[in-house]
């Protein structure tokens, strides 16, 4: 049986160690809110690691995760901490077996000040669009 996974790993700089600590409260509230959904989205993992610094959060999938949940988390942190500038990440969709159209990916860029998407791309959609032009 083929399994389909969404993989990503990215950093979010929240500016201060105090903000980093508060970000875990935002994360906990989001995950509790997500648990009420039917079905809940696959949650991502969040941590601080010495190699990335005390105010840079590491968001990553535990094997597969919903990237929209990560985007929601980032927009909530941006609003709570007054973050500005752009933030983005990329992901890969991976099939455990080689199947036709079993691999794709994408990227998403946010304006942290507004919480709005600047641009995003899905390579699967991009390919279909280019093949049908």
φ, ψ (nearest 5 deg) of residue 117: -70, 130
Q: What CATH number is given to the structural domain containing 70? A: 3.30.70
Mean pLDDT, the chain, as a whole number?
94
Q: Are strands 56-60 and 45-48 parallel, antiparallel or unpaired?
A: antiparallel
Q: How would residue 11 be classed by pLDDT, with cut points 50, 70 and 90?
A: very high
Give the chain's length: 133
Domain that holds residue 59: 4-131
Question: Which helix (H) or strand (E) is 81 found in, with range?
Answer: helix 67-81
Residues 20-77: tens digit of each pLDDT: 999 999 999 999 999 999 999 999 999 999 999 999 999 999 988 999 999 999 999 9
Total structural domains in the chain?
1
Please give the share of the chain, as a percent, with pLDDT higher than 70. Answer: 100
β-pairing, 4-13 with 56-60?
A: antiparallel
The answer to whether residue 97 scores a pLDDT higher than 90 is no
């Amino acid at each position: 049986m083929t399994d389909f996974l969404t993989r990503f790993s990215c950093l979010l700089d929240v500016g201060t160690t105090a903000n980093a600590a508060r970000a875990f409260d935002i994360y906990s509230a989001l995950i509790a809110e997500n648990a009420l959904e039917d079905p809940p989205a696959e949650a991502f993992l969040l941590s601080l690691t010495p190699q990335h610094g005390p105010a840079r959060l590491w968001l990553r999938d535990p094997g597969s995760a919903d990237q929209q949940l990560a985007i929601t988390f980032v927009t909530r942190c941006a609003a709570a901490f007054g973050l500005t500038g752009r933030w983005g990440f990329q992901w890969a969709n991976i099939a455990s077996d080689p199947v036709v159209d079993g691999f794709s990916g994408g990227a998403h860029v946010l304006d942290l000040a507004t919480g709005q998407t600047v641009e995003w791309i899905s390579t699967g959609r991009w390919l279909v669009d280019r093949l049908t032009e």
